[in-house]
Amino acid sequence: MTTPTVSSTPILRTALVWSGVMTAALVVIGGIVGFLTAGTPGLWSALSGVLVAAIFLGITAASILIANRWFGDELYVPIFFGIVLGGWILKLVLFIVALVLLRGQSWIVPMVFLLALVVSVVASLVIDVVVMMRMRLPNVSDMRLPTDVEEGERRTPNPEAGDAASGV
């Protein structure tokens, strides 16, 4: 028997791959623009902004992919929501820690950091929208009917007994 998979897994993997490519491109572009506008502190500010955005935006998709490994288990729903909620709490804690650590640093140029962060978030949202629009996902993708042939529970209608399934 094969392990059941969730139909959203390829969409999330594609979004993570494209977000990784986008992050690599923004690290290069942001680093160059940050260096040209504010020197070495601008370079580090842009790199920090892009990487902070990449980490925070990747945690949600990664937590869903990790939680989907329990698909088919009786406790899938509580495990799924526990992992995803844990990822959100982790993001909140990391965000507060990042703000406390980065606040007042001499090597941070606030405007470069902010612009790199905003551009990264917008680019990631655009990637998510494009991936969702292009991937095909059926309306009822992960349903298993109780009379599924694979389960061996399909029964043959008995017209002599007035079986409701036979339409008599």
Q: What is the pLDDT of residue 157?
A: 59
If 0-12 CB within 10 Å is exposed, 13-18 middle and 19+ buried, where does residue 91 land? middle
Q: What is the pLDDT of residue 103?
A: 86
Q: What is the pLDDT of residue 161?
A: 58
Per-residue pLDDT of the chain (168 residues; tens, 9 = 90+): 455 677 778 888 888 999 999 999 999 999 999 999 999 999 999 999 999 999 988 888 889 899 988 888 889 899 999 999 999 999 999 988 988 898 888 999 999 999 999 999 999 989 988 888 887 766 665 666 666 555 555 555 565 655 555 454
Q: What is the pTM of this model?
A: 0.72
Note the Cα 163 to chain centre separation in Å. 47
What letter represents residue 113's amino acid? F
The set of residues, in sequence order, having a beta carbon less than 8 Å from that of 43 and lying 6+ positions away, is 31, 34, 35
- For helices 9-67 and 110-134, angle between their N-to-C axes, nearest 10 degrees: 120
Distance CA 85, CA 151 (A): 33
Q: What is the pLDDT of residue 162?
A: 56
